[in-house]
Structure 1
Amino acid sequence: MAASAASSASAPRPGVSFRRDLSEWRIVLVAWRLLVLQASHPVVAAGMEEHSTYRGHPWRRIEHTLGSGRRLFQADQEQLWREVKRLDRAHRRIRGTTEDGRTYDAHDPATRAWVLLTLFESVAAMRELSGDPYSADELEELYREFAEIAAVFGLPAGELPATAAELPGYLRRTTAERLEFTGTARHLLYDMLHEAPCPRRLRFLGPAGWRALRWAVAKVVTELTVADLPAVYRERFGLVRTRRGALLSRVLHGVGRMALTRLPDRLRYRAPGVRPPSRPRRMPRQDTRPPRLDRFFREVLDQTGDGWLTARDLQAMAHNVCWRLELTEDGEARVYAAFEAWWEQLRAGMDADGDGRISREEYVTATLAGCDRDPEYLEGGLLPALRAVFAAADTDGDGLLDFAEYRVLFDGRRVHPAELSHGFRQLDTDGDGVITAPEFLRGFVDYFTARAPSASGTQLLGHA
């Protein structure tokens, strides 16, 4: 990451932007390197092994990592806060004990700092490996921009290096004291691409064609990643940078630089509309949540159709889920308990006159106020109920919902089949034909909290 002495003396080039450079297509050349570095932290590795489906869905894992990075560092302030909240929710339950007795927690500040800093380090490495490193002044400018965004995570003081100049020392210390060549990192580096399923867009190749391409890609990615990993990392874990790997790295990064830097911005960047910090995107003029919540009340919550929300409606929802899925007694008990807890949250916060029923207006107003006031508001009732519903609807226990399973949850005379199909496609963010639990929950969080209509979950019941 250190720039040469000549580069250090030069003035910053105009328009330097961490957000913009993170979105350049060249970042894919260091994407696998980024994953290996992150997975070498024992807490990250433990979380991936115990709580991630990356082995069965590697492309989803990569897209989620890059997508999260885009939402953190390339979006407006609203999307940044939503992404931080989403990560907090997703990581809250990523904790436990490994087989060798070590505890891990995804909210560990040092782990979160490492994951964030690897994104910054990867952008700097992308430029350095292409023969066009940042000057020292540019690196500090980029790091200030990065640190301003990373501050939203509320890490303890001193967890992140104060300046870019301190990053090489941080990398050496963390590699020596914290990182391990974990089984997850080893699998990413040497095995995963040899086992990876065919991406949806390449199914035209057929099984034989995909096996041949997969073998070639795996060889190239492994050679490139080993060659590009930091020297301190390779020395620590005995990885050898071969001459072939070094040549491959020079060619790919050099060609990538020459080709992409000559393209117009709309082709050069994955997110060409990203603006620098000095020109933040404007907030939407109108809050689109009220009509969505009104519709949710009418088409999902008000099961009796009398215009009021009562305990009977929540019980009817639980009954419908259990009836259609023919759950075991224990499974039914979990669904009913989750819906009862949801009703208690609604009753306590919305039934002001204590008559045991909530109007549509009361529901919409109180839900908007709760979400604005407390980022964890939905955890008080809705999200636990949805987790129980997802587990119940996942009839084959594979952790995924296909469309047939999804339809059971929302099918009915008041929701048109076309709307169901549209909602399913909105939640299936990676387009693989199934919905994971995080996608399912994230969609509902978007539906209840996103002010703009662009978030995927805002259309889970179709167009408003």
Structure 2
Amino acid sequence: MTTGTTSTAGEPPLFGPQGQFGAFFDDPRWALALIRATVLEAAHPQVGAALADNSVFVTHPWRRLRNTLLSLRRMFDADPAVREREAARLNRLHARMNGSDSRERPYDAMDRSTRAWVVATLFEATVTMCRWGGQPLDQDTMERMYAEYRGFLAALDGDAGALPEDLNEFWRYFDRVVEEELENTEAARIILYRLFDHLPAPALLASAPTLWAAGRAVVGPLLGAITVASLPEAYRRKAGLPEMPGASTLMQGAYFAAGLARFLPEGWINAETIIDTLSLSPDSDDPRARTVAALAARVKRASALLRLLAPISEDPAPATPTGKNRRTAEEFFRHVLDQTGDGHLDWPDLAAMARELATRLDLDEPEETRLYDAFAAWWRELQTALDTDGDGRISAGEYAAAVPSLAGPALIRVAEVLFDATDKDGNGVIDATEHRALFRTAFHRDLTTTDATYSRSAFVGDFLSFMAGNRTNTPYDPLFSDA
């Protein structure tokens, strides 16, 4: 058995359906293990700083989860071309993330040792979830899986040298990083103490905030306790994390119960289908929309009944719009522009918009860079027009006071670049297939034209109108606002 990046003669390939990652991708225990791995990633100072500055995992966790699952599926695909293309995309994304943390320590998402730690947490979490789920892996299976994850790292970095070649040495490496390098970072604290308590509802349950708040009030603390109990003791001690009595038993019970799903018929649980369904809005034209709409109606009735029986404190609701399909500048700032949820508008917010658009359209170079450059130019224009106190970011007050300045030449350029990226065949109009690639739905009724296309001028006009904060219920709302 080898721990390299290729399989030996006579053995199934490392990647694809026959690989170990593929065998566990739809395993419900992965939901718990992925949270654990994310906390251990965020506890690394470099990763934690990058997450705090650039990630939308607090305000848009379902979007982040969907994109993460898609990326992992591609990185473990049987086709080398698919893996290479996704690795190149991830490298371009990470190359744009660098800066300094709150203690003025530099971070760089391309740092090899940091990327190795991210891969290490995914591997270790998978091994651990199997052990706690009553299905411990034998040595040969662990070594094959470790070879897969080293292959994952090699695809990103060119080689897997930042991770030990020997599996036994890996466990010493893992313990050393936990003991010597991990910290009680802000990002880790947010995941443990804020994310579960304030997790926004997915699109499917957005119409039933009371029911969502009730479920979250019960499940959130349980997930937090399970996650804390699952972390290495050395890190819990270093971070001063309290362990509730019985939390360890609860944690092992949760993993074991989730592990029982392996006895269900094959195909009953599909991670991507579940995430796609949660992301559907009841008015979507997706074939599953009728079922989703019926479920949403029942959920809404249950939510109303629950509100009558036991009023529950919910997240602050947005202010009532001043007119039909209208909203205030503060609402638009909070729900659309402030992608990272830190209360200010700065470059990471616009970069998150560009990243989501590039992901949806599955852009390669040079289209991806052209889109980022357009958003960067818009950010510079916004700074000049709205940053009145010169602190390098824009507050909600500064935005509201000068909102007419938002739609300048740079924003028009963003709309034009986005149109070109969406118009894959370059024929000067967006057809139904291209529209769905961006918005994941068919043409809106008010966009239907005689030739069933979307012209450049109409697209740019609608984009500018949306970005001016004047309209709601447009295709752009779920694109930038959905959790």
TM-score of the superposed pair, with normalisation by structure 1: 0.59
Cα displacement (A) at 1:183: 1.0
Aligned partner of residue 194 in structure 1, secondary structure: coil
- 1:128 and 1:134 in contact (8 A); partners too: yes
Q: Match for 2:247: what amino acid?
A: G
Counterpart position of 1:249: 251
**Which string of whole-angstrom CA distances, capped at 9 and with x for unpartnered residues, describes residues 247-303 of structure 1?**
222322222222x1212221245379xxxxxxxxxxxxxxxxxxxxxxxxxxxxxxx
Task: Name which of 96, 106, 109 aligns with 2:109.
Answer: 106
Counterpart position of 1:410: 419
Alignment gaps of 5+ in structure 2: 1-17, 274-362, 383-398, 408-413, 443-474
Task: Name which of 59, 63, 81 aligns with 2:62.
Answer: 59
Aligned partner of residue 99 in structure 2, secondary structure: strand
Q: Quick one: distance in 1 between partners of 2:367 and 2:270?
A: 35
- 1:42 and 1:180 in contact (8 A); partners too: yes
Counterpart position of 1:164: 167
Q: Match for 2:121: what amino acid?
A: T
- 1:20 and 1:269 in contact (8 A); partners too: no
Superposed CA RMSD: 3.7
Aligned partner of residue 195 in structure 1, secondary structure: coil
The answer as to 2:200 corresponding to 1:212 is no
Q: Match for 1:87: what amino acid?
A: L
Quickly say closer, same or farther: Cα 1:228–1:54, change in 2 above 3 A: same
Counterpart position of 2:76: 73
Identity %: 32
Counterpart position of 2:199: 196
Counterpart position of 1:387: 375
The answer as to 2:438 corresponding to 1:424 is yes
Counterpart position of 2:231: 229
Aligned partner of residue 267 in structure 1, secondary structure: coil
Cα displacement (A) at 1:34: 1.5
The answer as to 2:70 corresponding to 1:82 is no
Q: Match for 1:110: what amino acid?
A: S
Q: Quick one: distance in 2 between partners of 1:237 and 1:79?
A: 39
Q: Quick one: distance in 2 between partners of 1:169 and 1:243?
A: 29
Quickly say closer, same or farther: Cα 1:16–1:129, change in 2 above 3 A: farther
Comparing 165-174 with 106-115, greater Cα deviation is found at: 165-174
Cα displacement (A) at 1:46: 0.9
- 1:36 and 1:185 in contact (8 A); partners too: yes
Cα displacement (A) at 1:436: 5.7
Cα displacement (A) at 1:128: 0.9
Counterpart position of 2:130: 127
Q: How many pairs does the alignment contain? A: 312
Counterpart position of 1:283: none
Q: 1:267-282 residue pairs with structure 2 within 5 A?
A: 267-270=268-271
Quickly say closer, same or farther: Cα 1:392–1:44, change in 2 above 3 A: same
Aligned partner of residue 96 in structure 1, secondary structure: strand
TM-score of the superposed pair, with normalisation by structure 2: 0.57
Q: Quick one: distance in 2 between partners of 1:181 and 1:165?
A: 27
**Which string of whole-angstrom CA distances, capped at 9 and with x for unpartnered residues, describes residues 295-346 of structure 1?**
xxxxxxxxxxxxxxxxxxxxxxxxxxxxxxxxxxxxxxxxxxxxxxxxxxxx
Q: Quick one: distance in 1 between partners of 2:417 and 2:76?
A: 37
Q: Match for 2:375: what amino acid?
A: R
Counterpart position of 1:266: 267
Quickly say closer, same or farther: Cα 1:388–1:250, change in 2 above 3 A: closer
- 1:113 and 1:155 in contact (8 A); partners too: no
Cα displacement (A) at 1:215: 1.3
Quickly say closer, same or farther: Cα 1:236–1:433, change in 2 above 3 A: same
Q: Match for 2:436: what amino acid?
A: H
Cα displacement (A) at 1:18: 3.0
Larger radius of gyration: 1
Q: Quick one: distance in 2 between partners of 1:261 and 1:55?
A: 30
- 1:72 and 1:80 in contact (8 A); partners too: yes
Counterpart position of 1:95: 98
**Which string of whole-angstrom CA distances, capped at 9 and with x for unpartnered residues, describes residues 67-118 of structure 1?**
3222212453222111111111111121112232111110111110011111
Alignment gaps of 5+ in structure 1: 1-14, 273-370, 399-404, 438-464
Q: Quick one: distance in 1 between partners of 2:176 and 2:230?
A: 19
Cα displacement (A) at 1:242: 3.1
Counterpart position of 2:143: 140
Q: Quick one: distance in 2 between partners of 1:75 and 1:199?
A: 31
Q: Quick one: distance in 2 between partners of 1:378 and 1:37?
A: 34
Comparing 37-46 with 136-145, greater Cα deviation is found at: 136-145
- 2:439 and 2:476 in contact (8 A); partners too: no
Quickly say closer, same or farther: Cα 1:177–1:436, change in 2 above 3 A: farther
